[in-house]
Amino acid sequence: MNNHSDMTETFSPSLRWLITNPFFLCIEIIFIYFIINLEFSYPDDLFFGNLILLVFASIYFLLNFSPITSIQTSLIIITVLIQTVFSLNDIETSYFFFPSLLIVSQMFFGFRYFISSKIIVNDGLLFFKSNLFSCRDISVESRIKTIGGIFGFGELIIHHNDEEFILAGVEKPIEKRRILIDNFRLKPHPQKANWSGTIVLFLVCSLILISPIFFIWIFFYSYLSELSLLSRILCSTVITLLLTILILNIRLPRVNKDPASDIMGLELVNTGMWTQIFQWNELLVVKQLFRCGWGHNNYNGHKAPIIGKKMCGKWNPIALVIMHNLMLIYQMIGVHRRKIYEHHIDAIPRTYTIPGRKFRYLQEYVSKPLNLENMPEDINDQFILLNKQLERSGLFIDDIHAGNVRINSDGKIRLVDGELYTDGEVLIKNFLVNGIDDRLDGMEKVLGCERIIRWVDHRVSVDDLLKQR
């Protein structure tokens, strides 16, 4: 652990947050005013427009993007009330008066938060606005909401007794939390993943991907209007399926450069389904995930509507590109979750993402493989503890075969691979993996631990090793 408590570190909202939050909110407000086209001299139009603004304010408040969300929604409500008062008293104003007033006020409070909200740490003390804390008396957590995560920022939450102090708009909040814990000795605050995790985003993206198929079906159903109802449905369905298969088999070029070309000179430690692992130094390995067409490229054991062999290379079917990218996204979600929960789940080794390398990360090197010679006597107890820690964190971990478990110098298990899923995500994940991958014979618990899952395939399981002992 590094101790830089005698240094000063400042954490503040990023410029990206300023542009995304108040600026984008103002764009939305302009869009709403443009759509409803309020005419203040007509009560009916005023009522309709105000109702839309109030509904938008309610939704925005419930989404709770940042600590100033309540102020932002209050400004919209106040504007609606003033508009109503002006209209009832026949006070005439310019059409642009209220939208301009609302936009200026939103930008003022957004910029004020951006300038004034800072966490400053120095000499064992943490300053946040008008509050002063001893670093030893507080804990910290990071939180990334869906919208903020898309734009690359999140929140740092300082906990003191039963109070929360939130700094929003922080770029790379997981890394900033790690700095506060490692360098300034703040305690890691217990975190528990939401049940739904990324389900909402996954379903939205799935609907976006599927919607063109629906529109194609509607087009042909309307075009074949001269046929009988049954014939229209049958013909539209067949044509849509054939056209979809053809579209999914259109070949796209892979990225020009092998993403691992700059580290090929390092010692290759292992090769996984999606990954090549190289020895970075005595303490770390570097893991490179591959884009479609590089590294792992054999999908012949997967169900996919591909004509011919399901292999990737210089040119790749759209269907396999989609499948591959989906796995990459969840691989990286798992990597970021490892960084979040490394202080709460002992079996997770230290993980470091690399700036500028989207699908590459460093991980603590764990020297010993799990085998009969290295197996700890208390391995059952260690897995039971791991299961309890996963339950407290609201997570499952899968793909835990014996090769993904290694032993450190203290005889403790470390899970060097395997994805972390929330309670809700694991339901969809199990359905998709079992439904798509023909190489698997299902999934089963590891050593009876319900939150530690292995895929039933040719790879040696921890249970098999324990039986041999």
| Type of residue numbered 328 | L
* H-helix or E-strand spanning residue 160: strand 153-160
d(CA 28, CA 32) in angstroms, rounded, equals 6
105: left (phi over 0), alpha (psi -120 to 50) or beta: alpha
Q: Residue 275 phi/psi, 5° resolution?
A: -135, 150
Residue 390 and residue 462 share a domain: yes
What pLDDT, on the 0 to 100 scale, is given for residue 339? 93
Distance CA 423, CA 195 (A): 5
- Counting Cα atoms < 13 Å in the Cβ hemisphere of 324 gives 27
Whether 198 and 147 have beta carbons less than 8 Å apart is answered as no
The domain boundary residue, chosen from 233, 248, 263: 248
Instruction: Report residue 150 as tokens.
Output: 């898309």
| Together in a domain, 161 and 277 | no
3-state secondary structure of 239: helix
* CATH number of the domain to which 408 belongs: 1.10.510
- State the SS3 of 8-48: EEEECCCHHHHHHHHHHHHHHHHHHHHHHCCCCCCHHHHHH
Whole-angstrom distance, CA of residue 424 vs CA of residue 336:
18
3-state secondary structure of 436: helix
φ/ψ of 449, rounded to 5, equals -90, 115
367 vs 371: CA distance, rounded Å? 12
Angle between helices 173-184 and 318-341 (to 10 degrees): 20
CB of 358 closer than 8 Å to CB of 403 = no
Average pLDDT across each block of 10 residues of the chain; the chain has 469 residues. List them in order: 67 92 91 71 63 91 88 94 84 82 94 94 92 94 82 92 93 93 93 90 88 94 91 95 95 90 91 86 94 83 87 91 89 91 94 89 94 94 97 95 94 94 90 80 92 92 91
Q: Are residues 358 and 384 in the same domain?
A: no
CA 334 to chain centre: 9
Identify the domain boundary among 365, 400, 422. 365
The residues with which 422 forms a beta bridge, in sequence order, are: 395
For residues 387 and 461, membership in a common domain is answered with: yes
Residues 9 and 139 in one domain: yes
For residue 81, the tally of other CB atoms under 10 A from its CB is: 11
Closest by alpha carbon to 339, among 363, 366, 365?
A: 363
Read out DSSP for 175-213? HHHHHHHHHH-PEEPP----SSTTHHHHHHHHHHHHHHH
Beta sheet of 119-122, edge-to-edge order: 8-11, 119-122, 125-128, 131-134
CATH number of the CATH domain containing 308: 3.30.200
Number of domains in the chain: 4
| Domain co-membership, 264 together with 236 | no
Judge contact between 22 and 106, C-beta under 8 A.
yes
Assess whether 202 and 341 both reside in one domain: no
Under DSSP, is residue 261 helix (H, G, I), strand (E, B) or coil?
A: helix
3-class secondary structure, 222 = helix
Co-location of 346 and 413 in the same domain: no
Pick from 165, 189, 213: which residue ends a domain?
Answer: 189
pLDDT value of position 5: 53
pLDDT, residue 40, reads 45
Separation of alpha carbons 43 and 27, rounded Å: 25
In this structure, the answer to whether residues 58 and 145 fall within a common structural domain is yes
Residues 193/422, Cβ–Cβ less than 8 Å = yes
Cβ-based burial of 92 (10 A; exposed 0-12, middle 13-18, buried ≥19)? exposed
In which domain, by residue range, is 394 found?
368-468
pLDDT, one tens digit per residue, over 429-443 is: 888 887 888 877 888
CA dist., res. 389 & res. 188, Å (int): 14
Which two tokens mark 302?
């997967």
Shared domain for 16 and 159, answered yes or no, is yes
Q: Is the same domain home to 36 and 182?
A: yes
Same domain, 268 and 242: no
